[in-house]
Amino acid sequence: MIKGVGVDIIAVRRVEKMIKAHGEVFCARVFTRRETEYCQRFRRPEERFAGRFAAKEAVLKALGTGWRGGISWQDVEISQTRSGPPEVKLSGAAETEAKKLGVQKIYLSISHSRGYALAFAIAEGGT
């Protein structure tokens, strides 16, 4: 059963500006170490960072929480599976909120095109 749907879009340039202005402080606040290492492997890391930024926003929209209730950026981690699709790992307050809602799995899609990153999340759970 679908518990929630979330979508977010962000200009890659906006994330690129935040990284240039705040560097490691911004990355450490928003992304986990694994996310940062993953993004930095690419020729245009700002696209990957923007995709993960949008993904975190989309996930919290799917949960219906936004950033309320003590949820931090670090509570939502986006990783890549070997076969390609991104995976969501929740911890802390985000995990607690998902359990309260009965969410068992979050499906996620991330796309980059023409200077934008878009993410779409579906939260699924039992009846």
Fold of 2-125: Ribosomal Protein L22; Chain A (3.90.470)
Q: What is the mean pLDDT of the chain?
A: 94
Query: For this structure, is 61 an active site residue?
Result: yes
Of the residues 17, 61, 89, 105, only one is catalytic, namely 61
For 71-93, the pLDDT digits (tens) are 999 999 999 888 888 999 999 99
- Give residue limits of the domains in the chain: 2-125
Residue 6: its pLDDT value, please? 97
Residue 124: its pLDDT value, please? 98
CB 90 within 8 A of CB 76: yes
Task: Determine the Cα–Cα distance for residues 82 and 62; give it in Å rounded to an integer.
Answer: 24
Query: For this structure, is 112 an active site residue?
Result: yes
The proportion of the chain whose per-residue pLDDT surpasses 90, expressed as a percent, equals 86
